[in-house]
Amino acid sequence: MPKRKRTVRHDSTEVQGADSWVDIRKTSWQQQKDLRLTGLRLSNATEQDAEIAAKTNFDLTEQLITDFVANWNWVDDLGEPLTVPRADPTVISNLTSDEVDFLTTAILSSDKDTRRKN
């Protein structure tokens, strides 16, 4: 019986060092459509709405990471394992901007990302 492959392992060497990885849950087509529409709305925000749009974008980014990072072997600056965001979303606040950008790209690209390793 076939089993759906719902996660993709991405090599995260560029942000976490050698042998690091992150497993990303694949988004559904509906989730992709919703994310794209939200992104379009945020990019079309007026100057008056810019602060609200930025806050919404930050919140959405953190929610994406919490919802779609299934597992990882990431560590902090002292080499201690980081808790997966689903278990402790506050861990996101201590990630670097490069790490957040990496995760967001991996999530939004689903299994098309060339940086992945299975």
Chain-centre distance for alpha carbon 25: 10
Nearest one of 81, 90, 88 to 22, comparing CA atoms: 81
Inside any domain, residue 1: no
AA letter at 6: R
Closest CA to 117 of 73, 62, 76, 77: 73
Whether 87 is in a domain gets the answer yes
* Assigned domain for 53 exists: yes
Does residue 90 lie in a domain region? yes
Q: Is residue 75 part of a domain?
A: yes
In this model, does residue 29 exceed pLDDT 70?
A: yes
Q: What is the pLDDT of residue 114?
A: 42
* Total count of domains within the chain: 1
| Amino acid found at 30 | Q
Residue 79 inside a domain? The answer is yes
Average pLDDT over residues 93-105: 96
Average confidence score pLDDT of the chain: 85
- Domain housing 61: 7-112
pTM for the model stands at: 0.78
> Is residue 2 in some structural domain?
no
Note whether 6 and 18 are within 8 A (CB): no
Report the alpha-carbon distance of residue 51 to residue 72 in Å, rounded: 32
